[in-house]
Amino acid sequence: MGNRSGEHVVILGGGGGGGRTGVANLLLLMAADDDGGTKISSDERRIEVLEGVGERNSLVFSADGTRLAAGGDDGYLRVFEWPSLKVILPKVKAHGSIKDLDFSSDAAFLASTSDDRGCKIWNLAERTGTSLRSVKGEDYGFARFSRDGTKRLLFVTTRKGSKGFVSAFDTSTWRKVKSKKLQEVPISAFAISRDGKLLAIGSCEGDVAIVDAATLSVQQWVRQAHMIFVTAMEFHPNGQALLTVSADYSARFTRIEPVGGNPWRGSLLLIVIFVLAMLVAIVGDGLLAKSPQAASVSEFLAGLKSRSLRLTPDGGI
């Protein structure tokens, strides 16, 4: 997805001819206005350098919408200026086949992953590529650069055996700084919000999870969002919803649940009530004996002790 004169632009790539989907090698542009209207326009552009290259598995814009990268089954990486389509990185054999691509926030670097489970980092100014270091038994799947610009990281999904992990690499050294297991099955899709605060993962069993990018902790699960594995996902520009699609031919919008307030608020309130109740139990009998309202207060305390306390969603009682 890119931005063009106040429009959000989505590029849909054709298949690869009769041996694939039968769709011609065209770029189909779908544009929606910033005002949120439903009016959609389309345009077709034939890209000569993409003629006959096979199925394109990944088409991705840079954050500022000025660069477009393409990769597919032939394993060649191509990077263009947008919309002039001037070549930035000529045809480069990156992998056996390209699975996923992502630009860094400043468009200086491009990450590519492949079905051979490798990951490479491309310096577009120098036109050079470096393989991301891995350990035995660790396979890379998808890659997303951080978006906030404060701490430059590259998030990469990793498969260890049958388990799905997300790892973070420091982009100044390309060394791993953290890694966390997020699910018991492989990750089949990956996305990051525009503000870089949230990640999303899809599983081969159709589950979807929203993940805090800072802690790599799951903050929302959507179990069985789809019948079978999730194939692609993208956050809404405002970060409040997630679009997912699946090999079961379904598409789903999931609302991102806001993170709750201070999680200690309700607990602290219960502790205070408990302490007060204990104090009343200790000294209450002596005090109440001297009060003409002893009977009524005793009845009130008895009722309070027998009443169950429940927290409301905002942490109240």
pLDDT at 314: 39
Please report the pLDDT score of residue 44 as a whole number. 53
Quick count: other Cβ atoms within 10 Å of Cβ 130?
Answer: 12
- Dmax (CA) for the chain in angstroms is 97
Containing H/E element for 299?
helix 294-306
For the chain, how many helices (H) and strands (E)? 2, 23
Q: What confidence score (pLDDT) does residue 40 get? A: 47
Match 């989907």 to its residue by tokens: 21
pLDDT of residue 206: 95
Query: Residue 113 has what pLDDT?
Result: 95
Q: pTM of the entire structure? A: 0.72
Q: How much is the pLDDT for 165?
A: 96
- Comparing CA positions, the residue from 266, 157, 170 lying closest to residue 216 is 157
DSSP string, 246-298: ETTS-EEEEEPPPPPS-THHHHHHHHHHHHHHHHHHHHHHHHHHT-TTHHHHH
- pLDDT tens sequence for the chain (317 residues): 555 445 555 555 554 443 344 445 555 555 555 554 444 454 555 566 666 666 778 889 999 989 999 998 888 899 999 888 899 988 888 898 899 999 999 999 999 999 777 899 999 999 999 999 888 888 999 999 998 777 899 999 999 999 999 999 999 999 999 999 999 999 999 999 999 999 999 999 999 999 999 999 999 999 999 999 999 999 999 999 999 999 999 999 999 998 764 444 444 444 544 455 455 455 445 544 444 444 444 443 344 333 333 333 333 33
Q: What was the pLDDT predicted at 8?
A: 59
